[in-house]
Structure 1
């Protein structure tokens, strides 16, 4: 699936939202490790990453060639500052209408509009891919993310008070959210 869009950030800079490709393997892997160390709200820790640069490059190539999935990179002044994507929940008849959403952004670029732009890009791509529902999990105390998701049209459909077990703070409540497309 192809995607390319330029947006203007709140600070006036330009941000390019585009597909990842094989040449982005190193930068994408570095961004993943960086962002997963900057917040305790993401699913994994940097040391849990098992992908190599070559595997990341292959992953980005597969997403670019997919008709149903995508990984979108956010670039500011030539630097990769964020990643977001959609993936199939599964291929079985009963669940093939559902997509999963994930996002991470370098903390130095928070509150500039990148997250909202990546979210809308992924929702748009999910609709074009034929999904009828997009889903995500968010840590309840991550109020800014919850607010962004609600503003975009996601609704809460459940909570797990022990959804994550943080190395730093213990259990974190996870909110399950979905949007019908």
Structure 2
């Protein structure tokens, strides 16, 4: 899948949303490790990341060549400040109508409209890929994220009070959300 769009952020800066490519491997890996250090709401801790630069490059290459999956990067001043993507839940007939959505943005760029734009881009790509449902999991106490997803049309379909086990706070309630496309 291919995607490219320029947006103007709330602070007046330009942000370019586009496919991540092999050449972006180091920058995307650095952003992943940064975003996963800055918040306790994402699935991984940086020390659990099994990717090195070569694995990241291969991942980005596969996504850029895929017809139904994508990894979009957000660049401000030519620096990767966020990523978002969609991935198939599975290839089997019973689940191939479903895709998963994930997003991460550097804390310095929260509240500027990047999350909203990346979410909209992934929804657009999921529709173009023919998915019928887009799914995500969010830590319930992450009210700004849950609010963003609700504004984008996602609805809650369940919760798991012990969905995540945080090294910092213990168990975290996770909200399951989906969007019919």
In which range does the TM-score fall when normalised by the shorter chain? over 0.9
Instruction: Give the number of aligned pairs.
Output: 181
Structure 1 segments of 4+ aligned residues over 4 angstroms from their partners: none
TM-score between both structures, scaled by the size of structure 1: 1.00
Aligned residue number for residue 38 of structure 2 = 38
Cα deviations across residues 115-158 of structure 1 (Å, max 9, x unaligned)? 00000000000000000000000000000000000000000000
Q: Which runs of 5+ in 2 are unaligned?
A: none
Aligned residue number for residue 69 of structure 1 = 69
Structure 2: distance between partners of 1:50 and 1:161? 27
Aligned residue number for residue 28 of structure 1 = 28
Q: CA offset at residue 3 of structure 1?
A: 0.3
Structure 2: distance between partners of 1:25 and 1:79? 12
Instruction: Find out whether 1:160 has 2:160 as its counterpart.
Output: yes
State the superposition RMSD in angstroms: 0.3
Instruction: Find out whether 1:169 has 2:169 as its counterpart.
Output: yes
Structure 2: distance between partners of 1:139 and 1:55? 27
Structure 1: distance between partners of 2:159 and 2:59? 31
Structure 2: distance between partners of 1:154 and 1:163? 19
Aligned residue number for residue 91 of structure 2 = 91
Q: Which runs of 5+ in 1 are unaligned?
A: none
Q: CA offset at residue 86 of structure 1?
A: 0.1
Aligned residue number for residue 122 of structure 2 = 122
Structure 2: distance between partners of 1:89 and 1:143? 25
Cα deviations across residues 74-109 of structure 1 (Å, max 9, x unaligned)? 000111000000000000000000000000000000
Q: CA offset at residue 63 of structure 1?
A: 0.2
Aligned residue number for residue 137 of structure 1 = 137
Structure 2: distance between partners of 1:28 and 1:149? 23
TM-score between both structures, scaled by the size of structure 2: 1.00
SS at match of 2:94: coil
SS at match of 2:34: helix
Cα deviations across residues 19-62 of structure 1 (Å, max 9, x unaligned)? 00000000000000000000000000000001110110010000
SS at match of 1:10: coil
